Amino acid sequence: MSVLVHLCTPADWRMALSAGALPPAGAPFVHLSSPDQVSLPARRLFPGRRDLVLLVVDPARLTDPVVEEPGVPGDPAGMRFPHLYGPLPTAAVVAVVPYRPPVPPVLPAPGDALGRALAHQLSLRTRRAPEVRDVPGGVAVLDGRFPHSRDDNRLLLDGPVDAGTVARAAAGVVDGQDLPATLRWAGAGAVAAELAAAGWEADELLVMARPPHPPLPGAERAEVVAQSEVHALWEAGWRSGLAGLPDLDEVVRQLVGREHRNDAVVAVSDVAAREDGRVVAAGQLRVDGATAVVESVMTEPAARGRGHADAVLARLVELAADAGCDLLVLEADARDWPRHWYARRGFRTVGSTWEVLRAQSGGATQDSSR
């Protein structure tokens, strides 16, 4: 069996990330399932729930014994479940997948870097969203507190669906507003091209990955800081990139205000490099089991060319290794220079997603990049 699964609440998983393991609860073991068994404990323990997560476990990473044992009265005759007699290490969890029956979950294999990256992309956004709706080909995530954040108000489509379906879904979730959409299936580029020909904005994002080993040089020049210490750098970047918006102050306020929610569902570390005591470069690491995600590496324009971003990235790689992660992923604009910068530091392209938005639509004004 390539993977096992464990069903739990996002809150229980977040506590496990802080502790480094998910302990047994109410029994001397952690109840695991094969993928085709998990609907049984789901219906028994969480009837009707669609806000849960499936932890995708690599059995090869478990050190405590796993024993095949009967379930409870009412389970099919002869069925046995894998019971882990010890805590479940977070580093054995290769992906965290939304559990939204009757939609079948997609469970990436331990060695599937693209699948694990896409699982995190979907799972992070559904876990932190106050509202998740089913749409053809995927889900819409919505957060009315941050209407200017495209990252928090968008479609996540695993398709394959056609361009017309994307357009109808984008216009059909929120009255008077077209949502942006992330197209996440192989071959989505053709649908993105069709939408671009119809006047939509369409951007390819490369999914890039590397292991945390070997380390990168210069980590000692960067430090983990409280997130508030990098707010000024973020604000300056957003004000520069969004200059001219009539409601710029409110947009920036929302984009800073949304950031605390990530640490409520994954383990977040903000890293900074300084000149004369002042933060001039920063980046963020999000750890979700054995998968770590690099976000928001940036340097103040006046401080570029002095190795600050290298130091920040090296520290992020070091933190991922310390957390027991075996995979580090990020997204990079296919048309912009950072993809080459990351490639020189060991990241390889493992796939693509496409971001599409009807041109000149109202509503959200900022995507997830800084």
**What's the pLDDT score for residue 360?**
65
**What's the pLDDT score for residue 9?**
96
State the Cα–Cα distance between residues 38 and 5, nearest whole angstrom. 7
Q: Select 4-110's CATH number: 3.90.550.10, 3.40.50.720, 3.20.170.20, 3.40.50.970.
A: 3.20.170.20
Q: Where are the domains of the chain?
A: 4-110, 111-207+346-370, 219-325
**What's the pLDDT score for residue 60?**
96
Q: In 3D, which of 137, 52, 32, 56 has the Cα closest to residue 101?
A: 52
217: its two tokens: 């040089």
Residue 165, classed as helix, strand or coil, is helix
CATH code for the part of the protein at 219-325: 3.40.630.30
**What's the pLDDT score for residue 233?**
94
**What's the pLDDT score for residue 243?**
84
State the Cα–Cα distance between residues 183 and 338, nearest whole angstrom. 22
> What's the pTM value of the predicted model, to 2 decimals?
0.94
Strand partners, 302: none
Report the 10 Å Cβ neighbour count for 171.
15
* DSSP, residue by residue, 115-162: HHHHHHHHHHHHHH-SEEEEETTEEEEE-TT-TTBGGGSEEEE-S---
| Per-residue pLDDT tens listing for the chain (370 residues) | 589 999 999 999 999 999 999 999 888 999 999 999 999 989 888 998 999 999 999 999 999 999 999 988 778 878 899 999 999 999 999 999 999 999 999 999 999 999 999 999 999 999 999 999 999 999 999 999 999 999 999 999 998 999 999 999 999 998 878 999 999 999 999 999 999 999 999 999 999 999 999 999 999 999 999 999 999 999 999 898 888 888 899 999 999 989 888 999 999 999 999 999 999 999 999 999 999 999 999 999 999 999 999 999 999 999 999 999 999 999 999 999 999 999 999 999 999 999 999 986 444 444 443 3
